[in-house]
Amino acid sequence: MELKFILEALLFSAQKPLTPKELRDVLVAAGTGDQADDATRAWRRVKETELETALAELAREHAAAERSYRLVCVAGAWQFVTQPDFASWVRALVGVKVRPPRLSQPALETLAIVAYRQPITRAEIEQIRGVNVDGVMQTLLERGLLENVGRAEVVGRPMTYGTTPLFLEYFGLRSLEDLPAADELRRLVIEKPPALVTVDPGLATAPPEQLQLPPEPAPLTASTPPAECPTPAEPPPPSPEKEADV
């Protein structure tokens, strides 16, 4: 039995998209059960790369057949979806799914900056956009399109942000590599704050006894004599005529 047909059966029966790892876990579980036969045991050691190759071949076959559905990979997970031409009939069958409101233009701009420059801090986003992004960031975080991915190794250790798998699903992308080219956005220079003073990468800051003060300025040499302060001029002596008058 070919691997691609096993995967086809699993994806048709699944109630949600499945990643290559999840598909591999199913093959391993089927091959280790008490009722496993030689055919199922043969697929216990299958690699994820083999699964991805079989899935890609299966997707090409369904696309070439021009049927009412196709196999796609969104956010790293595979699923069967109907072709857009049949949306009216499918909508009449399953109803209209309530979708969240569309993203505003500022939200899309902020999302694009994070997608191409992640991990990125809120201050760096504001440098690029030139406006405050507190409200927009809160909206994107609440909708699950952005998430905190760590902290920057700079003074204050601000939080850094990145996109989520829901972001890929929202825009129908297989991975971040499928984003359109945006070389201009990647070339924008961001002025980063100074890095933390550290002696060990594992420490947030260096112990006080290990910090070094900046070197003192070199003493002046004979070739560069210090500038002398000007001596204030003495007042001229009074004239004899004025002394006689007094």
Tell me what pLDDT residue 8 has: 93
Residue 120 lies in a domain: yes
- Whether this prediction's pTM lies above 0.85 is answered by no
Domain count, the chain: 2
Tell me what pLDDT residue 160 has: 94
Residue 128 lies in a domain: yes
70 & 121 share domain: no
Straight-line distance from the first to the last Cα atom of the chain, in angstroms, rounded to the nearest whole number: 130
Tell me what pLDDT residue 60 has: 93
112's enclosing H/E stretch is helix 105-117
Q: Which CATH number do you get for residue 181? A: 1.10.10.10
Residue 70 lies in a domain: yes
143 & 176 share domain: yes
Give the tens place of pLDDT for each residue, 164-180: 988 988 888 888 888 88
46 & 114 share domain: no
Residue 95 lies in a domain: no
31 & 66 share domain: yes
The residue range of the domain holding 131 is 105-187
Give the tens place of pLDDT for each residue, 51-84: 999 999 999 999 999 899 999 998 889 999 999 8
Tell me what pLDDT residue 245 has: 45
Residue 123 lies in a domain: yes
C-alpha span between 182 and 63 (Å, rounded): 29
C-alpha span between 143 and 201 (Å, rounded): 34
